[in-house]
Amino acid sequence: MSHTAHIRSHRKPRNRSSSTIAMRAGVAGGVLGTLAVAGASASANAAEPVTQTLELPTLTADMATQVAQSAEATQQAAADYQLQAERDAAAANAAKQAKADLAEAKKKEAEAQRKAEAERKTAAAASRSADRTVLAATSDATSTSTSTATGSAAAVVAFVKAQIGDSYVMGSTGPNSWDCSGLVQTAFKQIGVSLPRVSQDQSTSGTQVSLSNLQPGDILYWGGAGSAYHVAVYVGDGMFVGAQNPSSGVVEKPLSYDPPTGAVRVL
């Protein structure tokens, strides 16, 4: 045994009073109570949704008027768009119809032109055939009395026949190439007769004679008197000599080859 075991401790024993214990218990209880209340409040908040109220602006008379005007403007714009669409559709249809009408008109015009051209050719062929018949009869009837040229007419006939085979050159008056009026003018110049230079004027120089009463030396013309486009010289026996064109040159042909329109007599 220790030699101090029998000695009482000099420290004073703790003397926890009942009030201190009670205070601590109260504090603890208060804390626990606060936690319990907080937990209950959280549970209640979790169970019930939060409702928030929003206050909308009051629709005044000015705002109502503006809304009405905006709606009216929108309706008017929609009506305008619809009207424009209808006009565009009508214009497109009209353009399409006009195009179809134009194509039909052109087709009819072309058909009319073809028909007129065919009729013209038929009439021209019939006229030429009649002219050839008349000229053939005329040649037979007059060949004995007019086949031989005399005097100045004989000199004109001899000159144009001497040029057969020469070339045709527009505007030329010889000596180796001619156009139609240049040959006729030069032929008559050889016998001292002065003729105009062009076919139109030569067709009115002298006295108009019938194709059924031709004599050698008469000037034949094609086209109207005063507006003729070609001339040549009648050489008798139903024949003529003329500078025809660049491909033929100066040739001798029967009247039926290209029946003339008329004739004038200078000699």
Rounded CA separation 264/267 (Å): 9
Q: What is the pLDDT of residue 145?
A: 40
> Where in the sequence is the domain holding 144, given as residue range(s)?
128-265
Q: What pLDDT tens digit does each residue of the chain (267 aa) get?
A: 445 444 454 455 555 544 454 445 444 455 444 444 444 444 445 445 555 565 555 556 677 788 778 888 888 888 888 889 888 888 888 888 988 888 888 888 888 888 887 777 776 666 655 555 555 555 544 443 456 778 999 999 999 999 999 999 999 999 999 999 999 999 999 999 999 999 999 999 999 999 999 999 999 999 999 999 999 999 999 999 999 999 999 999 999 999 999 999 999
Q: Where are the beta strands (DSSP E) in the chain?
A: 167-168, 177-178, 207-209, 219-222, 230-236, 239-245, 249-254, 262-265
Q: What is the pLDDT of residue 62?
A: 75
Q: What is the pLDDT of residue 137?
A: 52
Encoded tokens for 222: 């094609």
CATH number of the CATH domain containing 257: 3.90.1720.10
Encoded tokens for 131: 């002219």
Residue 233 domain-assigned (yes or no):
yes
**What are the distances in angstroms from CA 31 to CA 6, 17, 37?**
46, 22, 10
Q: Determine if the pTM surpasses 0.85.
A: no
Residue 88 domain-assigned (yes or no):
no
Residue 45 domain-assigned (yes or no):
no
DSSP line for 35-58: HHHHHHHHHHHHHSPPP---PPPP
Residue 9 domain-assigned (yes or no):
no
- Tracing tokens 């005007």 back to the chain, one arrives at 69
Residue 16 domain-assigned (yes or no):
no
> Which residue from 122, 249, 265 is spatially nearest to 179, judged by alpha carbons?
249
pLDDT digits (tens, 9 = 90+) for 208-252: 999 999 999 999 999 999 999 999 999 999 999 999 999 999 999
Q: Contact at 8 Å (CB) between 248 and 189?
A: no
Residue 160 domain-assigned (yes or no):
yes
Q: What is the pLDDT of residue 11?
A: 53
Residue 26 domain-assigned (yes or no):
no
Encoded tokens for 245: 């064109």
Residue 95 domain-assigned (yes or no):
no
Q: Say how many domains are in the chain.
A: 1
